Amino acid sequence: MIGGAVVDLLGVPRLAPFADLAVTVDAPVEVGAVGHGTRRVIAITGGTCIARDWTARVLPGGADFQLIVNARMARLEARYVLETDAGDRIYVQNDALRTATPEVMARLIRGEPVEPADVYFRCVPRFEVSAPSLAWMMERVFLGTGLRRPSEVVMRFFEVL
C-alpha cells in the first residue's frame, strides 16, 4: 500500500511479436511405447524464419522429439539451428505442449490436417547465440503458439516484456 492505495508493483507481462517460423518436417520415426508414453522422432528438414530485425533459414538436421503422453496430450521437444541472412547461427530449443480431443489428436498423429482452433499448441523457445548483436535473446523469455500441418509446423514467437 502506498498512500492508502494498493499499487500493483509486479504488473502483468506484455507480449511483443518476435518471429514467425515455418519449419518443414519429415515423416515421423515411431520408437513405440516407452513406459510413460509413445515416443516419436520427427526430422526437421528446413524452413524459414522472419524475425523482428532479421530473417533466417532453418537448417536441416534438427529434430522434434515427441512423447505422446495419452490420447489427449503430447509433449514436444524440438532442437534446431537457424542461420540468419547475415550468417549468424542461432540454436533453438523449443519445448511445447499440444492437446486436443482424442479424435483430433489421432488425426494429428496420422499426419492429417486439422483445424488449428481445435488444438491447444503452446511453446517456450529458448535461444543460444554467439553473435554479440543477438546475445540479448539469451536474456529474455519467449512464448509461442503453433499449428501442425502435414509437412510443416508454423509458429509465432513472442518476447515477454
Q: pLDDT by residue (tens digit) across 25-37?
A: 999 999 999 999 9
Contact 7, 1 (CB under 8 A): yes
- CA 38 centroid distance within chain: 20
Compute the average pLDDT of residues 7-32: 93
Q: Is 118 helix (H, G, I), strand (E, B) or coil?
A: helix
Does residue 5 have a pLDDT over 90? Answer: no
Grid cell for residue 86: 547475415
Does residue 144 have a pLDDT over 80? Answer: yes
How far does the chain reach from its first CA to its final CA, in angstroms? 25
Q: What is the mean pLDDT of the chain?
A: 94
In the chain, where the domains are located? 15-160
User: Is 15-160 in CATH node 2.60.40.10?
Assistant: no
Does residue 67 have a pLDDT over 90? Answer: yes
Say which range, 52-56, 70-74, 106-110, 116-120, has the weakest mean pLDDT.
106-110
**What would the pLDDT profile of 71-113 be if each residue is shown by its tens digit?**
999 999 999 999 999 999 999 999 999 999 999 999 998 889 8
